[in-house]
Structure 1
């Protein structure tokens, strides 16, 4: 479980085949002290929960399955790609964002990006099946960053990126057409499932 509060902006160092399938090993450079991160630890990488399989001074390695590559933006990564990193939530940690599982619901695209006051205004078009889970003032994770939904229309939603978030995450670099990982709010997902089960 995560909170959507990014604590390091990493960078893809290398991408290598992993096994005989289409799985890939991703080596990501980080500013964290990797000595304190155990093998098997969960890390959200642009919102995707991945497991540490190797580590070195200033680097962490993860395996991404073919399913993950198909369902997220990870299949588009290249050496040099910046990556939002967050370690798993521990009991007693501050819940600064909202509860995020690290399971991506779909890949959306940035429809518009423009300055608004001192912030960056993003309009994001998610897959159509995710629109019912988005509501004004609700929560959404975009590339692993916890955000408040400002507005929702027929096929897109808007968020504001404050200068600090734009500086310490990948969101400040987004431009129209860029793909982003989207995870809808956990409560909205379970509420929709409950209503479905009740036949509504």
Structure 2
């Protein structure tokens, strides 16, 4: 369980394909605080630490994860949003994030407006994942509030702090991002669909 508040950025320093799996090695200032078997969200994808070495650690993504997320697009040198699992009893500053990406989306528009930024994204609505205005959405692991909501698109507003301390400052039109839709909204949508 995560909050969607990004702790730090990591750098991808190694990618090793092993059958249908991908071993991802990341350099991060969190590395010395991690332990093997710990869960860490990588661009919003919950992955398990499998090895540690100096200021690097390695996680493994399986084929299903690679098919549903943007991790299959990683290259050595890329930055990645990182968040360790939440601690029970601490504040939930973002929203409930499971680290289970529902699908990817594509950035379709970026607009700077008086010191903040508005990002618009498009996604495949056939997968049945809804957004609502003022509801929560997780983009590459970052907890955000939906500003505008369409059938297959939505926008979010990004404050300067978030822009500077997450991958948002690397996005451009066409960037593929991981989307985790609000867990409560998904349950409500599923219950309503079952009743119809």
TM-score (normalizing by structure 2): 0.96
Paired with 1:100 and 1:132, the residues of 2 have a C-alpha distance of 15
Per-residue CA distance 1:48-72 (angstroms, 9 max, x = gap): 0000000122111001111111110
Paired with 2:126 and 2:99, the residues of 1 have a C-alpha distance of 19
SS for the counterpart of 2:60 is strand
Paired with 2:53 and 2:8, the residues of 1 have a C-alpha distance of 17
Paired residue for 1:62?
A: 59
Of stretches 149-158 and 125-134 in structure 1, the one that deviates more from structure 2 is 125-134
User: Is 1:53 the equivalent of 2:50?
Assistant: yes
Of stretches 157-166 and 147-156 in structure 1, the one that deviates more from structure 2 is 147-156
Paired with 1:49 and 1:75, the residues of 2 have a C-alpha distance of 15
- The answer as to whether partners of 1:46 and 1:144 remain within 8 angstroms in 2 is yes
Paired residue for 1:102?
A: 99
| Structure 1 runs, 4 residues or longer, greater than 6 Å off | none
Match of 1:148 among 133, 145, 148: 145
Structure 2 unmatched ranges of 5 or more: none
User: Is 1:17 the equivalent of 2:17?
Assistant: yes
Aligned-pair CA distance for 1:130: 5.3
Aligned-pair CA distance for 1:196: 2.4
Paired residue for 1:2?
A: 2
Matches within 5 A, 1:28-177: 28-32=26-30, 34-129=31-126, 133-177=130-174
Structure 2 vs 1, CA of residues 132 and 60 (structure 1 numbering), >3 Å: closer, same or farther? closer
RMSD over equivalenced CA pairs, Å: 1.3
- The answer as to whether partners of 2:129 and 2:186 remain within 8 angstroms in 1 is no
Paired residue for 2:185?
A: 188
- The answer as to whether partners of 1:161 and 1:172 remain within 8 angstroms in 2 is no
Structure 2 vs 1, CA of residues 178 and 95 (structure 1 numbering), >3 Å: closer, same or farther? same
Structure 1 unmatched ranges of 5 or more: none
SS for the counterpart of 2:189 is helix
